[in-house]
Amino acid sequence: MEDHGNLILMIYLSSLIVVLPAFVVLWWRSNSDKLATSISVNTYRYFLVVLHASGRWRDLLAAYASAFEFEHMAVNNPRKFAPLRDVVRKSGAEADLKQIRLYMDVKPYLSENILILLAYTHRLGIDEEFQPRLDDLLAWTEGLTVAMADANREEPRQDCHRTYGRTVFGRTKKIMSAVFLGQCLAQAMKEKDSSLLQIPGFRETELKYCNSKSNKVRNVHDFVALDIDARRRILRNFSDDDFLDVNEFCLRFPTATLKVAAPKVEDEIDDSVHEIDKADVEVTLTVKRGAGTGRFPCVRNLPDEKQEVWWVILDDKKHDVPLAIKRLKPKDFDDEGNATTKLDFVAGIRGKYEYVVHALCDCYVGADVYSTIKFTVEPKLENTDSLKYFDTDDESDYEEYNAEIEAGDEEEETDSDEDGEADGGGPASAVQQESSEKEGIDELSSAEEEDDDEDDDEDEDEDDEDEVDEMENGKGLGANGSHTTSAVTEDM
């Protein structure tokens, strides 16, 4: 029993010392070449090359199919893809296939991925044996389209240096093309398709009927605005189940509005935007729908669940520069369907500007909205005193406090002056007062001396009187002197 226990302990220690570190090393090697979004660094670099050279929809589709995330896909026998290749060539997809530009060596999996995605976006039908591979391709829709947009934002724009005084990055149109590619992949649509084709069950027949003069339904918004009876008249050939799918799509389809405020600069002395100011544009995106939320959009073609995300882009229309980008998710919206965000930017040189705020939904085609703002950038402020480095309200309170103290000091000085005037008036009166006090002391001393002299005279007069009395008394004693002496002698 003890031997079995030692064996188990040795196996446990071996797993900790050898197996676990080996597993960590393998995991690190497999993920060290990926970004935080689980996108391969090589894919990101390739997207950077493609988007620098082109922003065409078909080139972005080929770049998507070339992503290094699909390297693991097995290469099939060319004969297996021959029927699908023939279908693509006989359809309108052949033109797209011929005009695709590749910016890397053709990988074995690349041509097969492009054929599958072209057949999917042209709605040519996919055999069941290719459906798992299509699902693998569509599972990366959001991650790869975000990577395309991020890669384009790394492209330096030296041509805008004069306007903005620095190097800005990216092109708005190419970023919007990447988002549009994601919309098409989510709804199985190609570049120039009508937005009506994303409605479940819609084909060219329904599209022509909607565009007729009697119906005048030109886009998905027109169809969603119809009441249920009008929809049923247009789709009279649909079964009840198919019509319920159409109504569900209409209820969940978003209708968006944008409210954009004028550019604002915080801690500024006025409402104007000046050169190199750090300003922001407050945007409120409101999304309404008949039912449901953005957490469950109608994207039936995607293999996994996906939430509705809105791209909000601040675009310099003249220079095609994306100054700010935000991605709003369902958690950013309140119960009323409102989401408020701020798009920060640094103002360019003085002049008039026209900016466009785009709001793009990554799940639907035709749901995008935009709003234009025009403003003027004023010359740079040269007076540095206008800058606030602390709260001026506190400064004003401090100045009021100092003013009160100074007023109190002045009142005290006034009171002291009044008291001085009442006592004799200022420094001169003080000297006079001191002189008066000295004279009084001298007079008092003189008076005391005179009293002493009078007392001395009185004492001298008394002494003289005593002497006179003694002299007078001496004469009387001389007559009676014996009698007096004998009397005394007798007493002794």
CA angle 114, 120, 122 (to 5 degrees): 100
Q: In this structure, is the dihedral angle defined by the CA atoms of residues 16, 21, 23 and 27, taken in order, positive or negative?
A: positive
pLDDT in tens, 38-77: 899 999 999 999 999 999 999 999 999 999 999 888 777 7
The per-residue pLDDT for range 318-340, each reduced to its tens digit, is 999 999 999 999 999 999 999 99
pLDDT digits over 269-303, tens only?
A: 777 899 999 999 999 999 999 887 888 899 999 99
Q: CA distances (Å), 398 to each of 135, 384, 394, 458, in order? A: 69, 22, 6, 79
Length of the chain: 492
> Higher confidence at residue 384 or residue 8?
8
The encoded tokens of residue 442 equal 């001298």
User: Which phi and psi (to 5°) does residue 192 adopt?
Assistant: -100, 15
Predicted local confidence at residue 47, as pLDDT: 95
Alpha-carbon distances, residue 159 vs 170, 173, 315 (angstroms): 11, 16, 16
Tell me if 145 sits within 8 A of 184, measured CB to CB.
no
Mean pLDDT over each residue of the chain, to the nearest integer: 79
Terminal-residue alpha carbon distance, the chain: 152
| Secondary structure class of 254 (helix, strand, coil) | coil
When mean pLDDT is compared across 167-171, 226-230, 255-259, 417-421, the lowest value belongs to 417-421
Cα–Cα distance for residue pair 20/397, rounded to 1 Å: 66
pLDDT at 478: 40
Strands 273-274 and 369-378, bridge-based pairing: parallel
Distance of CA 258 to the CA centre of its chain: 19
Whole-model pTM: value is 0.72
Tens of pLDDT, residue by residue over 213-241, are: 888 899 999 999 999 999 999 999 999 99
Residue recorded with tokens 């006989």 = 90
pLDDT recorded at residue 104: 76
Cα–Cα dist 433/423, whole Å: 9
